[in-house]
A and B are shown apart, each in its own frame.
Chain A
Amino acid sequence: MKPEQAEAGTGGAIAVLLVEDDAPTCGRLRDALVGAGDFEVATAATLAEARAALKARRPRVLLTDLQLPDGHGSTLIRETRQSSPDTEIMVISILGDEESVISAITVGATGYLLKDAFPTDIAATVRELVAGHSPISASIARFIVRRTQGVAERPGIAPLNTAKLTPREIDILWGIAKGFSYAEIAGHLGLSRQTVPGHIKSIYRKLEVSTRGEAVFEALQQGLIRL
């Protein structure tokens, strides 16, 4: 662990920055995390507040909504990915739909949290993420897998470059899409159960359009830039 992260958490508690403009939701999520005991939660209701909080202190986990009063959450995610590469980023979504989750993943998020998730599930999900295990839903997996099959882009959702996914990763996504558990997938594919969540994170990372070079590559692919 790097010094600043050791500094971020006090006594092993996980520092979380929660960015959510809806006060009841924000309170609910904070209570769920605080109630779990091992989280140290700071909250922000706007993009500006979030930037200020990030400047003051780098959290281990950033939990952010996408629709903020003064901007879009994806801006915050991208900035955080660049300024603090080790911060785990999760997007808070109402429905866990592809539009919000995939667009967050492409700018650098590696997880998502449903706003109505049960308190125990909220804490467990964040804890899992810190441990390197990204959550994924069947519908997100289905969406990614179908993109690898060349299904037409859906308007409103960021284009997805799935070229870097390995056949094994695609197999894992298929299993998740069809409702198999990690254990079942591991059994089918001859993996150990523990490695499956790691693969998910790796898949998210591959879908991210993070570096400048990749952004240029993507833009070229989409015909936005002509050399």
Chain B
Amino acid sequence: MTDTPATKEPRTADIASWTARWGYWAGYITLQALTVLACISVLRLPLPDPAAAYLLTDAVLETGGTRQPVRLPYLLTSDPAPDTPQDFALSFDRPASERHTAWSVLVPRFIRGIEIAVDGTVILDSRRNPAASRPDRNIPEIAVIPATLLRDGPNALTIRLYAVGPLTGFLDQVYVGPDRALRPAYDGRMLLFGTLPVVFSAWQAILTVLLGVMWLKRRHEPAYGVLAIAMALGVVQAFVPPALVVQQSGFARLNAVLISSAPLEAACVLVFVIAFLGLKFPRWGWAIFAPGFLVAIIGLFGGAAMVRSTFLLLGPPTVFASLLTICAIVGWAAVTRRDGVAALFGCATTVLITFGINDMLSALDIVVDRRIQVARMSYSVMLVAIGIGLTWRFAKALNEVDSFAGRMVSLVRETEDKLRASLALEEERARAAALATERNRLMRDLHDGLGGQLVSIVALSERGAEGGRIGEAARAALKDLRLVIDAMDDIDGDLMLALGAWRERTATQLRSHGLPLEWHVRTPQGMPVHPELRPWHVIQVLRLLDEAVTNAVKHSGAGKIAVTIETIGDTAEGRRGRITVEDNGRGFAMSDFVQPGAGAPKPGRGVPNMHKRAARCGATLVIDSGPGGTTVRLDLPREFPGVEPSGG
């Protein structure tokens, strides 16, 4: 062997899956075989019969004027005309010792109607009993013989058999004896063949309602609707009295139609199984309904013989075809999908097929037995299976919903946790960024003012300047420090609050120069509030004003300085704040600023700076200077810019 593991492996896997597949098929088929065996052993169970002592088997059959001795159970050899009575004459002895006990006649099975007469007096007509008139029910009949009719010794018993298609007439062996001896067998059979079918029919009725409701609420699942129709057909068929009872009533036609119920039901169940397993229904599949409808139509318009032959021709084959298809589909689903419910349906179908074959063999006289029809009853096995299947699927769906909800909850929780973590991270990052920005701004602010002033102090003291100039520079440094600190306070966008402190500092400064600071607030509220106002805006505005005042003090020789605060603009959107600084000094020519440092007076150094600061805040600065004084007018923007321009 030189096979490398690489080529070996897939082959082994193939073999494994192949083996597994066939293993499942083998298991499934074994299961069905066991089901068939179980069915056969159930069929072989003896039905309750009275003691053989009361058994009558010898009879004389009188039909159409001919007489022939027959042995019961007896199957009519040829189909007689419907009106021809088939009279079986029997005789029995009633001992004198039994005079005071009630005697009965028990006919355990017959097809399809009987009339019992004792010594020429009719004591029972089964055609009045709807249940007994159904050939698929195996209903026994018992009749108590009126004491006045009975004689000690031999008595004559006549049983007239009515044979109505599609099944051949049949009379089982007859028992005559004390009622107490016959009654238990009758009761046992009634329980099996009378009561149980009613229970099953009731069950079917409940299933009809449940499936109908389910279909109403879930229109996209036609499987339930189809099955509900099948169940409804079954229920109607079970409770409408059969033709034998109501010959001429309106039910007769309905009954003829209902003969088609079996093929239609089978077709419906097939459609249900296909839909239930989620398979695609082939378009030509609807053909399975055709035989049923054909039988129904013929039942409506055709004659009795025609109905019968059509039914025999189409009914059982359709039912069997449906059952075999179901069998194949559920078998396939059970094996390939490992679907437990499909396997259950498979077993139910097998039971139905087995019992159906039993009935067919019996009806076609291939197997000689006592004509017990079990297919209709075994249909209840199918019902049980369907009930279990639906409940199973419902419970599974509920579990899925539960686990889905649970999964969703944990998923949502996980996502929330992640979100919270990333949010915290984001917050942390934003905080760090804000801190860094703030630090940069603070550094620049300190650099602009305090740093420069301190350097200036160092320079002044090194050059042996007089104390006054050093003190002035130091004072300016302190003033600037206060400005920076003050601007950092939260003022909620009200620039007036910052200007209040600025006025104080400026007034103190001017007082030392013997200059008064005039302060006019023209509008009661001062200036509009700017929620977007940030400390760096405040610093720019205050420094700008500082420079305007310093220029006025140092270079203009002014006698007074006036600051005016007002709001300009009429409309709500157009309102802006305006700050004006005026002095009555000698002014300066604008050309002084073009070449800074060129002339002896150097007020100009501050002016480009002032324009720069105004531009940073988006404010408009107008400086108007003449011999009569200088006016610095700052028009604040309607909205302060959000981002500080870098540089400068």
Chain A residues in 8 Å Cβ range of B485: 95, 97
Asked if A96 contacts B496 (CB within 8 A), the reply is: no
CA distance A137 to B500 in the complex (A): 9
Which listed segment binds A: B242-250, B407-415, B502-510?
A: B502-510
Question: Knowing A116-B475, A138-B497, A142-B500 touch, does A121 contact B481 (C-beta < 8 A)?
Answer: no
Could you give, for residues 167-195 of chain A, a 1 whenever the CB lies within 8 Å of some chain B CB and a 0 otherwise?
00000000011111100100000000000
CA distance A96 to B497 in the complex (A): 16
Q: Does B90 contact A (CB under 8 A)?
A: no
Asked if A179 contacts B500 (CB within 8 A), the reply is: yes
Question: Knowing A118-B512, A179-B496, A179-B499 touch, does A138 contact B521 (C-beta < 8 A)?
Answer: no
Q: Does B125 contact A (CB under 8 A)?
A: no
How many B residues have CB within 8 A of the partner chain?
25
14-71 of chain A: CB within 8 A of chain B = none
Q: Does A139 contact B (CB under 8 A)?
A: yes
Contact of A179 (CB < 8 Å), options: B475, B490, B501: B501
Asked if B478 contacts A116 (CB within 8 A), the reply is: yes
Question: Knowing A116-B475, A139-B486, A142-B489 touch, does A177 contact B500 (C-beta < 8 A)?
Answer: yes
CA distance A138 to B500 in the complex (A): 6
Min Cβ gap A186→B in Å is 15
Q: Is the interface of A mostly helix, strand, loop or mixed?
A: loop
Question: Knowing A118-B508, A139-B489 touch, does A178 contact B482 (C-beta < 8 A)?
Answer: no
Min Cβ gap A42→B in Å is 27
Q: Is the interface of B mostly helix, strand, loop or mixed?
A: helix
CA distance A178 to B565 in the complex (A): 11
Residue of B496, B502, B526 with most chain A CB atoms under a 10 A cut-off: B496
107-148 of chain A: CB within 8 A of chain B = 116-118, 121, 137-139, 141-143, 146
CA distance A48 to B467 in the complex (A): 34
CA distance A207 to B502 in the complex (A): 25
149-164 of chain A: CB within 8 A of chain B = 151
How many A residues have CB within 8 A of the partner chain?
23
Chain B residues in 8 Å Cβ range of A118: 508, 511-512
Q: Does B519 contact A (CB under 8 A)?
A: yes
Chain B residues in 8 Å Cβ range of A116: 474-475, 478
Residue of B nearest to A116 (CB): B478
CA distance A151 to B494 in the complex (A): 15
CA distance A138 to B504 in the complex (A): 7
Q: Does B491 contact A (CB under 8 A)?
A: yes
Chain A residues in 8 Å Cβ range of B494: 178
Question: Knowing A121-B508, A178-B526 touch, does A138 contact B478 (C-beta < 8 A)?
Answer: no
Question: Knowing A118-B511, A142-B491 touch, does A179 contact B482 (C-beta < 8 A)?
Answer: no
Residue of B nearest to A176 (CB): B500
Question: Knowing A179-B496, A179-B519 touch, does A139 contact B501 (C-beta < 8 A)?
Answer: yes
CA distance A96 to B496 in the complex (A): 19
Asked if A178 contacts B500 (CB within 8 A), the reply is: yes
Asked if B501 contacts A137 (CB within 8 A), the reply is: yes
Chain A residues in 8 Å Cβ range of B512: 118
Question: Knowing A96-B482, A142-B491 touch, does A179 contact B503 (C-beta < 8 A)?
Answer: yes
Min Cβ gap A93→B in Å is 11
CA distance A176 to B474 in the complex (A): 27
Residue of A142, A151, A177, A184 with most chain B CB atoms under a 10 A cut-off: A142
CA distance A176 to B503 in the complex (A): 10
CA distance A179 to B512 in the complex (A): 19
Residue of A nearest to B524 (CB): A188
Chain B residues in 8 Å Cβ range of A143: 489
Chain B residues in 8 Å Cβ range of A138: 497, 500-501, 503-504
CA distance A146 to B490 in the complex (A): 10
Residue of A nearest to B501 (CB): A138
Residue of B497, B499, B508 with most chain A CB atoms under a 10 A cut-off: B497
Asked if A121 contacts B501 (CB within 8 A), the reply is: no
CA distance A54 to B607 in the complex (A): 54
Asked if B519 contacts A181 (CB within 8 A), the reply is: yes
CA distance A181 to B503 in the complex (A): 10
Min Cβ gap A36→B in Å is 16
CA distance A139 to B542 in the complex (A): 15
Asked if B504 contacts A178 (CB within 8 A), the reply is: no
Asked if B504 contacts A137 (CB within 8 A), the reply is: yes
504-562 of chain B: CB within 8 A of chain A = 504, 508, 511-512, 519, 521, 526
CA distance A138 to B482 in the complex (A): 12
Chain A residues in 8 Å Cβ range of B496: 178-179
Min Cβ gap B386→A in Å is 70
Residue of B nearest to A94 (CB): B478
CA distance A117 to B521 in the complex (A): 27
Chain A residues in 8 Å Cβ range of B504: 137-138, 179
Chain B residues in 8 Å Cβ range of A176: 500
Residue of B nearest to A152 (CB): B490
Asked if A179 contacts B502 (CB within 8 A), the reply is: yes
Chain B residues in 8 Å Cβ range of A121: 508, 511
Min Cβ gap A135→B in Å is 10
CA distance A121 to B500 in the complex (A): 19
CA distance A117 to B482 in the complex (A): 13
CA distance A51 to B292 in the complex (A): 120
Residue of A94, A139, A178, A179 with most chain B CB atoms under a 10 A cut-off: A179
Residue of B nearest to A143 (CB): B489
Residue of A nearest to B509 (CB): A118
Residue of B nearest to A98 (CB): B489
Min Cβ gap B503→A in Å is 4
CA distance A143 to B489 in the complex (A): 9
Chain B residues in 8 Å Cβ range of A142: 489, 491, 497, 500-501
Chain B residues in 8 Å Cβ range of A177: 497, 500
460-478 of chain B: CB within 8 A of chain A = 474-475, 478
Min Cβ gap B446→A in Å is 14
Residue of B nearest to A141 (CB): B500
Question: Knowing A118-B512, A139-B486, A142-B489 touch, does A178 contact B497 (C-beta < 8 A)?
Answer: yes
Min Cβ gap A177→B in Å is 5
Min Cβ gap B549→A in Å is 14
CA distance A117 to B475 in the complex (A): 9
Min Cβ gap B565→A in Å is 8
Chain B residues in 8 Å Cβ range of A137: 501, 504
CA distance A141 to B491 in the complex (A): 12
CA distance A138 to B491 in the complex (A): 12
Asked if B486 contacts A178 (CB within 8 A), the reply is: no
Chain A residues in 8 Å Cβ range of B526: 178
Chain B residues in 8 Å Cβ range of A151: 490
CA distance A139 to B487 in the complex (A): 10
Min Cβ gap A152→B in Å is 10
Chain A residues in 8 Å Cβ range of B500: 138-139, 141-142, 176-180
Min Cβ gap A107→B in Å is 23
Residue of A97, A178, A181 with most chain B CB atoms under a 10 A cut-off: A178
Residue of A nearest to B482 (CB): A95
CA distance A184 to B500 in the complex (A): 13
Chain B residues in 8 Å Cβ range of A97: 485
Min Cβ gap B641→A in Å is 25
Given contacts A117-B508, A138-B497, A179-B502, 9 further A-B contacts (CB under 8 A): A96-B482, A116-B474, A116-B475, A116-B478, A121-B508, A139-B486, A142-B497, A178-B494, A179-B503
List 25 contacting pairs A-B, 8 Å CB cutoff, sorted by A: A94-B478, A95-B478, A95-B482, A121-B508, A121-B511, A137-B501, A138-B497, A138-B503, A139-B486, A139-B501, A142-B489, A142-B491, A142-B497, A142-B501, A146-B490, A151-B490, A177-B497, A178-B496, A178-B499, A178-B500, A178-B521, A179-B501, A179-B519, A180-B519, A180-B521
The 6 closest A-B pairs by CB, nearest first: A179-B500, A138-B500, A179-B503, A138-B501, A178-B496, A178-B500
